Structure 1
């Protein structure tokens, strides 16, 4: 059949099973919006308050489901407003397709109104970026974009389409999408046997898991692996839920704000098995002192990650699920009772703890965990509240914690929550935010109220930029440059003005009832939880220090004495 380019875009989205797109219209993309209007019963369009919110919503949709998230925007500033969200998805390996439209082909390169070379702009932060000038290429490019986004190490792809390509017509033939098979080409028997031998020889193995295990849907294989070799498991921020936080072998998060027992465990293990993690600087601290006593076995789909930050003893390159499927039958049932008991002793000696007097961020997170029975999808912004959400909520399943790990994007969480709730209406979805982050994306509460998307926005409000202030307190002599937010902005009134319910929380005993009221409300709700401006995230590893140098409040008091 003969279709316009705009109709081909919609037809290709339907081919790929897309049921929701997030976006914001403009002149250059009007033809696509006209086509979406005609197919509104098949593809739901969520009009966000800002294009950045659309990109974060598409990202949240993808993280919550494992499917490709889709966002769309017009040319020029509409397209550039997607950039932060595209970069966020790229850093965290999230499958996303961003569709933008540009000025007509005859106007390209002439500094036309709202013209920007968006394909060039995003080249370093996408797996691939396309510009389509000929309608005959459009279907092929969109299909390829989805294939690239999903295959191997997932990530975002951008398709920019000139306006005339959306108006012109060509023959369209429907196709069944390609089946994306796990990447197994590089998995060799030799590498597997080497891995199995390292595991057999280890006396103090430690498993370190990242977001790649979630992307590969490898949780069941990971559980079998951990229980077979009887090894403690620690994770990255991105790996939360890949291995249940409620399992006896779980040893918490590793790194700058990880648990002391995870950091000490990695420091003293003799084999570190890294699964689906890229060894971020926030994890290893001082690379020269990281896991000095250990051989390192790395399992990852991306060969570029091997030996990039931490030198390995051996590696297996391939889809994590497929690697573990092949490796599990090759290893025996091992008993590392003394080592596991040692980690248990460290858990007792160095538990996570916080001030129990008054309302604090950790208490709010623990109440969220209690009220939701550990079954909510949690999104976060970036800062102290993000670390508390990682430390004090026990994620038992993958795709429960959606957070910007690599880019550290303030303003990510509320858009991501909208995407997650749209994708998973059966789940309670709560965004844990700081007041600084909330100021960056509070306009998306209007999106929540427009569509009555019942997300819960929990603002841990300390009237400062908390994490930056923490660094200023500890390392900059208490010089609080541009971090105090103690002004007259009333978040409850803001929420109400944007069509949402607002609840202020100032005491510990108010948190649980407020959460229960918010869940029962059935619409979007904001909780403004007022905490002290000097509450801090502990443990902490100073930048560039060894992870075994983690300190907490007790250590600071001893040092002062």
Structure 2
């Protein structure tokens, strides 16, 4: 068999369902011959984004596979891979590569070298008989420790060369996980039991470890409130009485109140980084951090204690030790913490309810978020946001109830990311409603890939806030805006969606928000994607406590 077919056979052994790809790459045809479906987008960036969303929704149990052309194809894919790297998503990128005999002849884009800063491992298959070894190494990197992209460039002569079938000795790569040092576990529980007001801060590590049920048990035994980062949103149910909600660039009032009140903050699978994805922790607190690796330890502040391991193993260790030190029920149900959280939440929602239920026209975006949340079955919905105001307005108020029901992101904030990851998520979870909330700036970055959703029958819902402006930017560009209209935008995006084969509606009356969402659900049940274009006001009020 040819080298490309050997690689395709390995992908089949790894239970690959889809190849997220753009031609030309002969691996696409080899994989298709084995029943692996090619999903072709309009741009390589969207190709990578789809693999990203697929992998997220699968919690890394299956990895999105990206295949591109050598040269321009893999050059175009860079932003998507960089974004997956920032968000710690383990995708496998397999571009074509220059033939060994032509290395060094300009132009020669060596992706295995260029991509090293944005991959966990980046290398090149330079010999036919190394195909099983290098593919095995790639999947091992994906399934050990922190997940991040892996790239394996395939030299043209390797792809087209004759591979000895008898050497295809390959078994599916297992996942490698580590538990924490028992002494670190013991000390962590001692510190938590001495604290008067501990807070648990959960990040994306909870989702990758699929450890939500253990986190719930641990929080209840400790009787401690829980917040999540933007990227960890849905890792702890936000209708739970111990939930404070989400803390990112914007955050709930409960997050601010209880972080300020805390004397100890225990980070579980979070970075303790102050950025768009996660609220920074106040100074003067005792800090404990549990992570799968050392990358985020001792960053912005000195830790008082740390432990390293996969949370799927670490949380059961913590639960066992907590019961050992404090009894089978530990602190479960003691004190008034749940009542305190409810009081703060109720007061906060009362403050924001005029915007969440506003009858303004143009429509207030908070009303759209509120009506969407109260219309869909959140237990069977996956929602994501776009960069900027759509993210900052959605994060505090959309309440998640099940794991992986929200795809939060902001470690990189590239506009246009949401459409690709939504399509990937829908392929991974076809029975779920998948939606993205975006603005009129981001649809300009990704709109042509609506046709990808149509062609592949991927019925996602795009909710576009159209206010004809880059919200919040004019204050930073007063002369550019006043003299040259710098922040002004224009577009009729429902018509764009219709022209590309999707169902598009423009909604101007707030009383039509819920009916339009219900119509969208009916259309998506036929296999067609939907774009709802809501004509909105520029709303610059953001929730920060």
TM-score (ref. length: structure 1): 0.89
2:297 equivalent among 302, 306, 309: 306
In terms of mean alpha carbon deviation, does 342-351 or 87-96 score higher? 342-351
Within a 5 Å distance, the mapping from 1:422-437 to structure 2 comes to 422-437=427-442
Q: Once the 2 structures are TM-superposed, how far is the Cα of residue 182 of structure 1 from its aligned partner?
A: 1.5
Find out whether 1:315 has 2:299 as its counterpart: no
CA distance in structure 1 between the aligned counterparts of 2:277 and 2:383, rounded to whole angstroms: 25
| Mapping 1:5-404, distance limit 5 Å | 5-26=3-24, 29=25, 31-39=26-34, 42-66=35-59, 67-112=62-107, 115-171=108-164, 172-184=167-179, 187-282=180-275, 290-331=281-322, 332=326, 333-334=330-331, 337-351=335-349, 353=352, 355=355, 356-358=358-360, 359-374=363-378, 375-404=380-409
Structure 1 residues 283 and 103, CA gap change in structure 2 (3 angstroms): closer
CA distance in 1 between counterparts of 2:268 and 2:36 reads 36
1:181 deviation in Å?
2.7
Q: Aligned-pair distance for 1:479?
A: 6.5
How big is the shift at 1:286?
9.8
Structure 2 counterpart of 1:525, from 527, 530, 538: 530
After superposition, the C-alpha distances for 1:259-301 in whole angstroms (9 at most, x for unaligned) are 12212211220111111001222279997xx433421111111
Which residue in the other structure is 1:496 paired with? 498
Aligned residues: 524
1:452 aligns with 2:457: yes
Inter-partner Cα distance in structure 1 for 2:146 and 2:510: 43
CA deviations on 1:223-261 (whole Å, 9 max, x unpaired) are 001101111111100111110011111111224311122
Shift, 1:392, TM fit? 2.2
Tell me how far 1:340 sits from its aligned partner: 4.3
- Is the 1:98–1:157 contact (alpha carbons within 8 Å) kept by the matching residues of 2? yes
Q: Is the 8 A contact 2:50 2:425 kept in 1?
A: yes
Q: Does the C-alpha gap of structure 1 residues 200 and 414 become closer, same or farther in structure 2, counting only changes over 3 Å?
A: same
Of 485, 488, 492, which residue of structure 2 is paired with 1:485? 488
Contact 1:403/1:413 (8 A) holds in 2: no
C-alpha deviation, 1:398, in angstroms: 1.8
Find the residue that maps to 2:368 and give its secondary structure: helix
What SS is found at the alignment partner of 2:441? helix
CA RMSD in angstroms comes to 2.2
Unaligned runs of 5+ in 1: 541-549, 551-561
Contact 1:503–1:527, Cα closer than 8 Å, also in 2: yes
Aligned mates of 2:541, 2:50 — CA distance in 1: 28
The whole-number CA distance in structure 2 between the counterparts of 1:248 and 1:343 is 7
Match of 2:512 in 1: 510
d(CA) in 1 for partners of 2:2, 2:229: 46
State the Cα distance separating 1:471 from its structure 2 match.
6.1
Q: 1:283 to 1:340 in 2, by over 3 A?
A: farther
Asked whether the 8 Å contact 2:250–2:395 carries over to 1, the reply is: no
Report the CA distance between 1:134 and its aligned residue. Answer: 1.1
User: Given the two structures, how large is their TM-score scaled by the length of structure 2?
Assistant: 0.92
Moved over 4 A (4+): 283-287, 469-473, 476-483
Name the SS of the counterpart of 1:350 in structure 2.
helix
How much has 1:483 moved relative to structure 2?
5.0
Q: Secondary structure at the match of 2:396?
A: helix
Cα offset for 1:357?
3.3
Instruction: Identify the residue that residue 544 of structure 1 maps to in structure 2.
Output: none
Contact preservation (8 Å) 2:230, 2:409: no
Render the CA deviation track for 1:305-338: whole Å, top value 9, x for unaligned: 1111222111111111211111102113215524
